[in-house]
């Protein structure tokens, strides 16, 4: 199926049935390919999950090869809010297409985003009729608390992550959002990362992955819980065999994406 938004799609391994979806919304001036780099690590731990990374519906005026979810050229709160509402309608249509294509419900979908994408994730996650599995936001904020207060319909589990040195979106917005969400009785977790600017470091990516794993109920997890004794026994046997066959030497591999200012780079380190 062709979606209403141009989308980078990362599917599970061949033969694995799709049981969940993670939607990743890029930041201002970025695109779906940029933020899809997060899936290089995430997909190894989120089996039966399809990752969908759409491009924004508008070309970004300051980066013609990138996109935006709403225009920031005017310093007018009402204008920005109206543009964000337009983007909501388009993204909601996109989500309905995903649900139809993969036969999923909101409870099987995590919606996440960076910077402007985080803002859209919060707007959509808090105003939909049916709660998403969870919402994860990096380096963003609530666009308008007054607007959300009037339209608040669902209360998904939320994780917000921010760098304490963010020079683009002030880290104070994380504290502000946390206070607002707690007052509205939402389940909210936050992580302020030290010495971090406007990007997604390894610590943020790992924390988000663990949160999503905890909230997306995968068939593998259910199987492991049901047969946890046998799974643990098998793991111990495999570990003993590995130890007995390896006499020495350590191999280390760091393969995590880093997203900085909506542009993604990958650090690959091998000894």
- Tell me the pLDDT of the chain averaged across its residues: 86
As given in the structure block, the two tokens for residue 71 are: 């225009």
Q: Tell me the C-alpha distance between 104 and 87, whole Å.
A: 22
pLDDT-based confidence at residue 176 (cuts at 50, 70, 90): very high
pLDDT-based confidence at residue 217 (cuts at 50, 70, 90): confident
- The DSSP letter of residue 75 is -
- The DSSP letter of residue 38 is G
From the candidates 31, 166, 205, 262, give the one annotated as an active-site residue.
166
Q: How many helices (H) and strands (E) does the chain have?
A: 9, 12
Query: Does 250 have pLDDT greater than 80?
Result: no
CA 45 distance to own-chain centroid? 14
- The DSSP letter of residue 248 is S
Q: What is the pLDDT of residue 143?
A: 97
The reply to whether 115 belongs to the active site is: yes
pLDDT-based confidence at residue 270 (cuts at 50, 70, 90): very low
Query: Does 254 have pLDDT greater than 90?
Result: no
Q: Average pLDDT, stretch 227-252? A: 44
The reply to whether 85 belongs to the active site is: no
Query: Does 235 have pLDDT greater than 90?
Result: no
From the candidates 198, 199, 205, 262, give the one annotated as an active-site residue.
198
Q: What is the pLDDT of residue 218?
A: 57
Closest to 255 measured CA to CA, from 238, 239, 268: 268
Could you identify the residue written with the tokens 């309608």? 89
Q: Average pLDDT, stretch 20-37? A: 98
Query: Does 154 have pLDDT greater than 60?
Result: yes
Q: How far is CA 71 from CA 65, 120, 212, 218, in A?
A: 15, 13, 30, 37
CA 103 distance to own-chain centroid? 20
> Of the ranges 39-43, 71-75, 212-216, which one carries the lowest mean pLDDT score?
71-75
Tell me the pTM. Answer: 0.81
> Mapping DSSP to helix (H, G, I), strand (E, B) and coil, where does residue 44 land?
helix
Q: What is the pLDDT of residue 234?
A: 53
As given in the structure block, the two tokens for residue 123 are: 């707007």
Closest to 138 measured CA to CA, from 21, 242, 30, 214: 30
Q: Average pLDDT, stretch 75-88? A: 96
Closest to 8 measured CA to CA, from 30, 40, 31: 31
Query: Does 57 have pLDDT greater than 90?
Result: yes
């Amino acid at each position: 199926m062709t979606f209403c938004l141009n989308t980078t799609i990362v599917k599970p391994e061949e033969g694995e049935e799709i049981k969940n979806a993670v939607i990743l919304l890029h930041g201002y001036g970025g695109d779906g390919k940029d933020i899809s780099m997060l899936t290089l690590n995430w997909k190894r731990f989120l089996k039966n999950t399809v990752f969908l990374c759409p491009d924004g519906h508008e070309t970004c005026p300051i980066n013609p090869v990138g996109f935006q979810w709403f225009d920031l050229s005017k310093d007018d709160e009402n204008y920005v809010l109206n543009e964000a509402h337009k983007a909501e309608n388009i993204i909601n249509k996109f989500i309905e297409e995903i649900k139809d294509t993969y036969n999923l419900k909101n409870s099987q979908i995590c919606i996440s985003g960076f910077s402007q994408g985080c803002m859209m994730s919060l707007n959509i996650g808090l105003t939909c009729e049916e709660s998403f599995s969870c919402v994860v936001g990096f380096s963003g904020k609530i666009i308008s608390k007054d607007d959300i207060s009037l339209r608040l319909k669902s209360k998904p589990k939320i994780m917000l992550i921010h760098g304490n040195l963010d020079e683009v979106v002030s880290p104070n917005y994380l504290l502000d959002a946390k206070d607002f969400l707690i007052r509205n009785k939402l389940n909210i977790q936050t992580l302020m990362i030290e010495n971090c600017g406007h990007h997604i470091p390894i610590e943020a990516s790992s924390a988000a992955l663990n949160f999503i794993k905890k909230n997306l109920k995968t068939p593998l997890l259910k199987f492991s819980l049901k047969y946890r004794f046998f799974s643990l026994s098998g793991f111990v046997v495999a570990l003993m065999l590995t130890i007995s066959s390896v006499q020495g030497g350590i191999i280390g591999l760091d393969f995590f994406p880093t997203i900085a200012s909506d542009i993604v780079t990958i650090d690959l380190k091998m000894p």
